[in-house]
Copies of this chain bind each other. A is one copy, B any other.
Amino acid sequence: MRWCRFQSGARQAFGLIEGDTVTEISGDPFSAHAPTSTRLPLGQVQLLVPVVPPTFYAAGVNYREHVTEMASRRGVRPEFPPNADVGYRANNALIAADEPIVIPKDATDQVQYEGELVVVIGTRCKRVSEAEALDYVLGYTIGNDVSERTWQRGDRTFWRGKNTDTFKPMGPWIVTGLNPDDLRVTIRLNGRTMFSYAVKDAIFGVRQFISRMSQYLTLYPGDVLWMGTDGATENMKDGDVVEIEIPGIGVLRNPVVRER
């Protein structure tokens, strides 16, 4: 199933996508829901961020080539994370597919994409094993963990380096029934493939993160876990278009503008 959230006039609703048609759903994917009689052409609905999470988790550094490349650019030794210690991002920064990533006036030119898989929790859980972890997942979507590298390195926290408004594109929708081990992420800038990697090459996988997190934290329906990116990342500038594609899910496309 493909779950979306969309704006229809003054209404925000969840919908199920079949082919090119969105069926509006009363309720939400996490609890009782039923189809309504409203059907709309997918091309005519304004997609919203597919879920606004109660808590917004991010694996952060979780792929070896990304760690190695980014360390090499800074002239430091790569340090791989010893444990699946999850981090956080912030809801203010979320934007939907096709909405612009806005680079603030005072940002440097080091504003970079990070294309990654996003796990959407479906069912409340605590203390689950790795073997059962995926039973608590509703589905998967795509995220772009946009980062201003000088703020990321220079500030005490990731507040503006990672969470400036518009720095967290997520979408276009949530797909259920996938095996994360089968997925590949491809990042394109202005149509050119910049990097492509297999989700399963992560240092810590989806099952490991969910199981470890849930030993201390209750995971709630709608919580999202961004799995981290692989490879080197490059700058985005005014007028660029960045696309993150995960076959089986879709394409998360966003234009880039710089404030003047």
A-side residues, CB < 8 A to B, are: 52, 54-55, 60, 81-83, 85-88, 90-93, 104, 126, 155-157, 159-160, 163-165, 213, 216-220, 223
Could you tell me if B60 and A164 are in contact, using CB atoms closer than 8 angstroms? no
Could you tell me if A85 and B156 are in contact, using CB atoms closer than 8 angstroms? yes
Could you tell me if B160 and A104 are in contact, using CB atoms closer than 8 angstroms? no
Q: Which of A81, A93, A159 counts the most chain B CB atoms within 10 A?
A: A159
Query: Main secondary structure on chain A at its contact with chain B?
Result: loop
A55 to B104, CA, bound (A): 21
Can you tell how many copies of this chain the complex includes?
2
Task: Pick the contact of A217: B88, B163, B216, B223 (CB < 8 A).
Answer: B163
Could you tell me if A216 and B87 are in contact, using CB atoms closer than 8 angstroms? no
Could you tell me if B157 and A92 are in contact, using CB atoms closer than 8 angstroms? no
Could you tell me if A217 and B157 are in contact, using CB atoms closer than 8 angstroms? no
Which chain B positions have C-beta within 8 A of A60? Answer: 156-157
A90 and B156 contact, Cβ closer than 8 Å, known pairs A52-B54, A54-B52? no
Task: Pick the contact of A155: B85, B88, B160 (CB < 8 A).
Answer: B85
